[in-house]
Chains A and B, each alone.
Chain A
Amino acid sequence: MRRSTFFAFVAPSVVLMLVFMAAPLVIVLVQSFYLTQNVFEEVTVESCTPGFPNPVCTEEIQSRRVLDDNGTPVTETSFVGWETYRILLQPEAVAEAFSVGGGGVSALLDIDFYKAARFTITFTLITLPFVIGVGLLIALAVNNAIRSLRGPVIFVSLLPFIITPVIGALSIRWLFVGDGILTAALEGILNEDIAVFAHGWAFEILMMFYRVWHVAPFAFVIFYAGLQTVNQDTLESAIVDGASRFERLRYVIIPHLMPLIIFIALIHLMDAYRAFDEVIGFRSEAHRITLQWLTFNFLTPDDSGNRAISRASAASMLTMLGIVILLIPLLRRTWRDHRGS
């Protein structure tokens, strides 16, 4: 292929990636180092409630945003360097927690960022082996099923993956909430009042269960495709050599699928670290929050329209950094294999 043809083909993708991925990243990075503040003035205002039954009038000093001639609020933007990151990570509080007489881990987990990071990392690392394991199990089961059954089985196994994440999370919540079908059934059997969502650990387990249920079909599809290309001669010679079913899996099939397992792990680490839908769907904010939810919370305007853009930007950058750190071992391995071959 001529070099110019190659560039003509690739250029649109490169431009789109620059516009929609690189540019936003750079903007968010820059935003995390700047702070935009409103300018306030103090004014004495007499305000009255509507007359029902009688107007209540109060005179009070209010902080009001200063408006310019066009009526838009005046803002001041200043470079604050790492200050926003410091506010998020609170290094002084961390140092205090681990100094003599400090609160230790529980004091650390009282800080929103570490609380969210603790759950996000646990969530990501625990769901990873389950997604790969369950995906592989379904793939093996389907591969060994009678040919006529395969179509329907594949269809049913894929269903969880098609459901919109937040709806899936909601449906699991509805099953287990106070008067949900499953809770009601359990209460009937055990004759005991059950409140699943009054416990942090219950949230944690159900959120992980939901994620595995939701993502395992994706792993299954990939592994199922991989299973179609396993070298049958090698498998047959393994059988002739007397290898058991497990040994064939361990020494023939899994090594063959290894690049796919790494691929699934990469995708899953990236996705799970950005866990968000579970918090919203399960309403777990009191018990468990994730880093991505923290960013969302900073961006949500309150009743007066305030939003913490700088902190949201810094939290986003830290989330990205976390993903990169998690991916390093896998990427190094892929790179070594690549060089080796």
Chain B
Amino acid sequence: MAIAMMVNTQHLMYRQDIFDELGLEVPTTYDEMLQTAAAIQGAGVVDYPVGGTFRTGWNLAEEFVNMYLGFGGTLFNDDKTPSINNENGVAALEMMQALTEYMDPEYLGSDSTYVQQQFQQGDIAMAVLWASRAGAMDDPAESQVVEMVTMAAAPSAVEGGPPASTVWWDGIVIAENISDEEAAAAFQVAMEGMDAEMVQANNDAAIWLIDGYEPNRLSEGAIANLMGGTPPYPASTEMGLMHTALGDNLSDFLIGAESAEQALADAEEAYLTAARESGLVQ
């Protein structure tokens, strides 16, 4: 039993003032994003045109999943064996590498908080970042770019495709095997926290799915992602194992130690080892 409370997704955030000044269009595909980044770099207005949550591990794997699904890839075969070492996988990795050319070279340590701070301190011009971080852009206590960051859908990987991102539905889950009294108590506690009063006090902290939420300019990116048909994150037991395998192996390609095919083959191998160990794949 699950009750959704908020939705989170990685969408495009960009510096409206820089785009206006340079007369740039909002990129709708990653190829356009690269061109836009090149234009911003040429103008020299920020240190790095692009930010990205490329930290090795969970973040990097999430970026790959977004891009790979955007290219139309599927992660598994029917028998739960991996199917990422293909042209979509290589295309996704190569696009990620192309983006890193415009990033702070220390991108493999860059998580959501780091990208948020890059925005707040005016170091970057655009990034595909979590909707839950949008509110921080307008926080005058931290941000030097209040009301300068505009939200839009994540660029798509292929022309006309859905935004290359995934949607995360956050909520509370009540386990099936607890007693009815415990379930009732858990439900009441959760409902007490998820009321209109809480949402009004924290309107910009998330895209809430609770009465009393007022969507505003900060929620436009997430809404555009949803309207554009962004797929939900394919959560499952095997996906958990795959996510870890991707996070541990893909950085070898980005640091130049391996080819894209080799990094993907290593990730598949790591996934298979873990899946056999857990009993998922024979």
Given the known interface contacts A52-B226, A76-B279, A110-B258, the answer about A285 and B57 at a Cβ–Cβ threshold of 8 Å is yes
Cβ contacts under 8 Å, B235 to chain A:
303-304
- Range for the number of chain A residues in contact with chain B: 35 or more
Chain B nearest CB from A306 CB (Å) reads 5
B window 225-275: CB within 8 A of A: 226-227, 232, 235-241, 243-244, 248, 251-252, 254-255, 257-258, 262, 266, 273-274
Contact of A303 among B56, B105, B169, B243 (CB under 8 A): B243
B109 interface residue per 8 A CB criterion: yes
Chain A nearest CB from B142 CB (Å) reads 15
Chain B nearest CB from A197 CB (Å) reads 4
Given the known interface contacts A38-B278, A285-B56, A285-B57, the answer about A303 and B240 at a Cβ–Cβ threshold of 8 Å is yes
Cβ contacts under 8 Å, B167 to chain A:
49
A71 touches B240 (CB 8 A): no
Most buried by A among B4, B80, B109, B258: B109
A18 interface residue per 8 A CB criterion: no
Chain B nearest CB from A336 CB (Å) reads 44
Chain B nearest CB from A9 CB (Å) reads 46
Cβ contacts under 8 Å, A37 to chain B:
277-279
Cβ contacts under 8 Å, B255 to chain A:
200, 286-287
Contact digits for B152-193, partner A, Cβ 8 Å, 1 yes 0 no: 000000000000000101010001111000000000000000
B169 touches A71 (CB 8 A): no
- Range for the number of chain B residues in contact with chain A: 35 or more
B80 touches A63 (CB 8 A): yes
Contact of B241 among A53, A110, A179, A306 (CB under 8 A): A306
Prevailing SS type, chain A contact patch: loop
Chain B nearest CB from A86 CB (Å) reads 11
Cβ contacts under 8 Å, B257 to chain A:
110
Cβ contacts under 8 Å, A76 to chain B:
279
B window 193-247: CB within 8 A of A: 209, 226-227, 232, 235-241, 243-244
Cβ contacts under 8 Å, B274 to chain A:
306, 308
A12 interface residue per 8 A CB criterion: no
B96 interface residue per 8 A CB criterion: no
A188 interface residue per 8 A CB criterion: no
B15 interface residue per 8 A CB criterion: no
A177 interface residue per 8 A CB criterion: yes
Cβ contacts under 8 Å, B177 to chain A:
67, 70-72
B243 touches A40 (CB 8 A): no
For the complex, give the distance between the alpha carbons of A193 and B47 in Å. 9
Cβ contacts under 8 Å, B209 to chain A:
50, 52
B240 touches A304 (CB 8 A): yes
For the complex, give the distance between the alpha carbons of A196 and B236 in Å. 38
A178 interface residue per 8 A CB criterion: yes
B104 touches A39 (CB 8 A): no
Given the known interface contacts A62-B236, A63-B80, A63-B238, the answer about A302 and B109 at a Cβ–Cβ threshold of 8 Å is no
A window 88-140: CB within 8 A of B: 110, 112
Chain B nearest CB from A224 CB (Å) reads 38
Cβ contacts under 8 Å, B236 to chain A:
62-63, 304
Contact digits for A169-203, partner B, Cβ 8 Å, 1 yes 0 no: 00000000111000000000000010111101000
Cβ contacts under 8 Å, B280 to chain A:
38, 40, 63
Contact digits for A272-296, partner B, Cβ 8 Å, 1 yes 0 no: 0000000000010111000000000
For the complex, give the distance between the alpha carbons of A329 and B237 in Å. 47
For the complex, give the distance between the alpha carbons of A65 and B238 in Å. 12
- Across the two chains, which residue of chain B brings its CB closest to A42? B80
B123 interface residue per 8 A CB criterion: yes
B277 touches A35 (CB 8 A): yes
Chain B nearest CB from A30 CB (Å) reads 17
Most buried by B among A35, A39, A63, A197: A63
Cβ contacts under 8 Å, A11 to chain B:
none
Cβ contacts under 8 Å, A177 to chain B:
106, 109
Instruction: Using CB atoms and an 8 Å cutoff, list the residues of chain B in contact with chain A.
Output: 4, 7, 47, 55-57, 78, 80, 104-106, 108-109, 121, 123, 167, 169, 171, 175-178, 209, 226-227, 232, 235-241, 243-244, 248, 251-252, 254-255, 257-258, 262, 266, 273-274, 277-280
Q: List 16 A-B contacts (CB under 8 A).
A: A37-B277, A39-B279, A52-B7, A52-B226, A53-B226, A62-B236, A63-B238, A110-B262, A195-B104, A195-B106, A285-B108, A286-B108, A286-B252, A303-B240, A304-B237, A308-B278
